[in-house]
Chains A and B, each alone.
Chain A
């Protein structure tokens, strides 16, 4: 067979997504792994400023976890539909009527910073990124 398996395709796409070529992917028998750089990149995507110690520590731990969870690949589930939810509900609607919202001052009282009846946030525009 010359066509790549779904896993192989997934691996190469993910390698590209992570900006590197040497990702060991989650093949049926392959040992999955997450390197320090992978963890750093994932943490950036998730807005987590991990420390060097955490990066070292998590890379090993997460590789072990990934090895374990890769076992889902053993299931013969080709035509099985994915289950997203235990309750088969779709499009739960209600009458479009106005109900009271929480008072603004009550909500803003719990904000880390507020100004002029609004949430105050760090500058968004004009950043280099």
Chain B
């Protein structure tokens, strides 16, 4: 069977679209309309978006086209559509964080990353669906609707950035931003056959990102290719004085590293395979097909000249319990701001209820079950008497995990593992079992807790569904993630004879 000639703009990567825009082969209005048409045709089923403003997107695209026609000097992203997870505040554009408590809210300012993309000339297609306040691994915790996986609409698209992953994989956006607290960029990227990168904590601004767990939250790119992710990352990265945890260091040369990696330049690279993440004695809960694909990918890297060795990080075994204490604790504090007084929903303000009753009723009606569970758990973990045994101990485990990384990086340049223990599961399968849902984050949590960069790149199929390969690197060495991911991508494309997502294009066209 030969691949059909691909004339559909929405199945192209952003780099190619950017080239066509710059060359005048297509205009931003034509391109934006192509995505809007596809959204109109498919999003009723897929549920990727919570908000689309076609009129505003086309108006913006028209401005870019006019500027280009007038001979204006435009940046490489000008005219390219983009989708943003609904956790980023966008001036005048409804922003809910997937929650009823913010239904109808139109923020009065832009998140720094949204402002940077706007300044680069991108066209905002819309805001993508997500687990409420980014709490979840399947996007089923959205207060509005579930998002479906374009590879199989009966399966979850991962989460919490599942609207972004489905939008990009399904051709409803060329690329998108997500956020990753415990894996919420990497895991949905893995589930939908995308590239997703969680940058070094502090290297991309959190200003205007609705906070879930402030010591962990990080924004990053989700894209069809490693190169697209690198371009988008470079556009949003860098110091922001409005985020006091922002690192004042330049963004590494991610595009250059991607190009080097794509040429297979890995000689001398030391790769550590983490035993605790799917290695011998640690395979419980992992799909055999996932482990096979990851093993083959490691062999691929060795074939390109990388020195591969197994590395043990024993504290990683406690990453899951530590994370599910730290994140809910920080969430219980962060979500105190949603009390129905200054913005969003207010319930029971009829003169018969006290202030505290109005707050309680507002939060009862405005928050969904997972958010309530985490607020209760976090309140418990932070309460006097339990603090040392739970939150305090979790923070010590966080130190142990970071030490494991530090000593591993004495011997290797990057660490690799599966991104997710399994492929995408059927919608509903884990929805009322919090622990089963949390287990989806097993492989992504260590890098989150240590604040380190980590990327997920497709490495093949298992049961006909995408498998993600995770590459973790030391702080501020995001370029290593891109280099290795690009090498994996190039080798896989060469083996398959086509781009990974072409598989999905062919299936959905059939």
Measuring CB to CB, which residues of chain A are less than 8 angstroms from any residue of chain B? 6-7, 9-18, 25-26, 34, 38-39, 42-51, 54, 57-58, 61-62, 64-66, 68-75, 77, 80-87, 89, 92, 94, 102, 106-107, 109-113, 119, 121-124, 127, 129
Which residues does chain B contribute within 8 Å of A121, judged by CB atoms?
A: 341, 355
Which residues does chain B contribute within 8 Å of A122, judged by CB atoms?
A: 349, 353-355, 357-358
For the complex, is B428 an interface residue (Cβ under 8 Å from A)?
Answer: no
Contact (Cβ within 8 A) A81 B399: yes
Q: Which of B344, B361, B390 contacts A49 (CB 8 A)?
A: B361
Nearest neighbor of A86 in chain B, beta-carbon distance: B451
Closest Cβ of chain B to A34, distance in Å, is 7
Contact (Cβ within 8 A) B383 A17: yes
Q: How far is the CA of A89 from the CA of B396 in the complex (A)?
A: 19
Contact (Cβ within 8 A) B377 A66: yes
Closest Cβ of chain A to B101, distance in Å, is 11
Closest Cβ of chain B to A27, distance in Å, is 8
Q: Chain B 298-309 against A: per-residue CB contact (8 Å), 1 yes, 0 no? A: 000000000000
Q: Which of A9, A71, A129 contacts B321 (CB 8 A)?
A: A71
Contact (Cβ within 8 A) A65 B324: yes
Closest Cβ of chain A to B250, distance in Å, is 16
Closest Cβ of chain A to B199, distance in Å, is 11
Q: Which 4 A-B pairs have the closest CB atoms?
A: A86-B451, A13-B385, A14-B385, A82-B395
Q: Given the interface contacts A68-B321, A68-B435, A86-B215, does A46 sit within 8 Å of B376 by beta carbon?
A: yes
Q: How far is the CA of A68 from the CA of B396 in the complex (A)?
A: 17
Some 23 contacts from A to B, beta carbons below 8 A apart, are A10-B385, A34-B380, A39-B376, A42-B383, A45-B379, A46-B363, A48-B360, A49-B363, A57-B369, A70-B390, A72-B325, A75-B315, A75-B400, A77-B400, A80-B400, A82-B395, A86-B452, A89-B245, A111-B341, A119-B341, A121-B341, A122-B349, A122-B357
Closest Cβ of chain A to B367, distance in Å, is 7
Closest Cβ of chain A to B376, distance in Å, is 5
Contact (Cβ within 8 A) A64 B321: no
Nearest neighbor of B361 in chain A, beta-carbon distance: A49
Which residues does chain B contribute within 8 Å of A89, judged by CB atoms?
A: 202, 244-245, 247
Q: How far is the CA of A64 from the CA of B394 in the complex (A)?
A: 17
Bin the interface of chain B by size: 35 or more
Which residues does chain A contribute within 8 Å of B450, judged by CB atoms?
A: 86
Q: Given the interface contacts A13-B384, A92-B244, A112-B344, does A82 sit within 8 Å of B396 by beta carbon?
A: yes
Contact (Cβ within 8 A) B324 A87: no
Which residues does chain A contribute within 8 Å of B109, judged by CB atoms?
A: 102
Q: How far is the CA of A62 from the CA of B452 in the complex (A)?
A: 30
Q: Given the interface contacts A86-B201, A112-B349, does A64 sit within 8 Å of B244 by beta carbon?
A: no
For the complex, is B26 an interface residue (Cβ under 8 Å from A)?
Answer: no
Q: How far is the CA of A86 from the CA of B353 in the complex (A)?
A: 42
Q: How far is the CA of A50 from the CA of B388 in the complex (A)?
A: 27
Q: How far is the CA of A127 from the CA of B354 in the complex (A)?
A: 7
Q: Given the interface contacts A48-B364, A62-B377, A122-B349, does A80 sit within 8 Å of B321 by beta carbon?
A: no
Closest Cβ of chain B to A112, distance in Å, is 4
Q: How far is the CA of A72 from the CA of B316 in the complex (A)?
A: 11
Contact (Cβ within 8 A) A82 B392: yes
Closest Cβ of chain A to B132, distance in Å, is 14
Nearest neighbor of B339 in chain A, beta-carbon distance: A47
Contact (Cβ within 8 A) A64 B402: no
Which residues does chain B contribute within 8 Å of A17, judged by CB atoms?
A: 383-385
Q: Given the interface contacts A14-B386, A48-B364, A81-B396, does A127 sit within 8 Å of B355 by beta carbon?
A: yes
Q: Which of A50, A71, A83 contacts B399 (CB 8 A)?
A: A83
Q: How far is the CA of A58 from the CA of B367 in the complex (A)?
A: 14
Closest Cβ of chain B to A109, distance in Å, is 8
Q: Given the interface contacts A50-B372, A122-B355, does A14 sit within 8 Å of B384 by beta carbon?
A: yes
Contact (Cβ within 8 A) A26 B390: yes
Q: How far is the CA of A24 from the CA of B411 in the complex (A)?
A: 43
Contact (Cβ within 8 A) B399 A82: yes
Which residues does chain B contribute within 8 Å of A16, judged by CB atoms?
A: 385
For the complex, is B398 an interface residue (Cβ under 8 Å from A)?
Answer: yes
Q: How far is the CA of A29 from the CA of B399 in the complex (A)?
A: 23
Contact (Cβ within 8 A) A87 B360: no
Contact (Cβ within 8 A) A43 B389: no
Q: Given the interface contacts A34-B380, A122-B354, A124-B355, does A46 sit within 8 Å of B332 by beta carbon?
A: yes
Nearest neighbor of A55 in chain B, beta-carbon distance: B376
Query: Other CB < 8 Å A-B pairs besides A69-B390, A102-B108, A112-B344, 17 of them?
Result: A17-B383, A39-B376, A42-B376, A46-B336, A48-B363, A48-B364, A61-B373, A72-B394, A82-B398, A84-B395, A86-B202, A107-B342, A112-B341, A112-B345, A113-B346, A122-B355, A123-B354
Q: How far is the CA of A50 from the CA of B376 in the complex (A)?
A: 10
Q: Chain B 421-461 against A: per-residue CB contact (8 Å), 1 yes, 0 no? A: 00000000000001100100000000000111000000000
Nearest neighbor of B475 in chain A, beta-carbon distance: A86
Which residues does chain A contribute within 8 Å of B325, judged by CB atoms?
A: 69, 72
Interface centre among A26, A65, A107 (most CB of B within 10 A): A65
Q: How far is the CA of A107 from the CA of B379 in the complex (A)?
A: 30
Q: Which of A38, A69, A80, A129 contacts B354 (CB 8 A)?
A: A129
Which residues does chain A contribute within 8 Å of B388, judged by CB atoms?
A: 6, 10
Closest Cβ of chain A to B200, distance in Å, is 8
Nearest neighbor of B104 in chain A, beta-carbon distance: A110
Contact (Cβ within 8 A) A50 B364: yes
Contact (Cβ within 8 A) B386 A107: no
Closest Cβ of chain A to B317, distance in Å, is 8
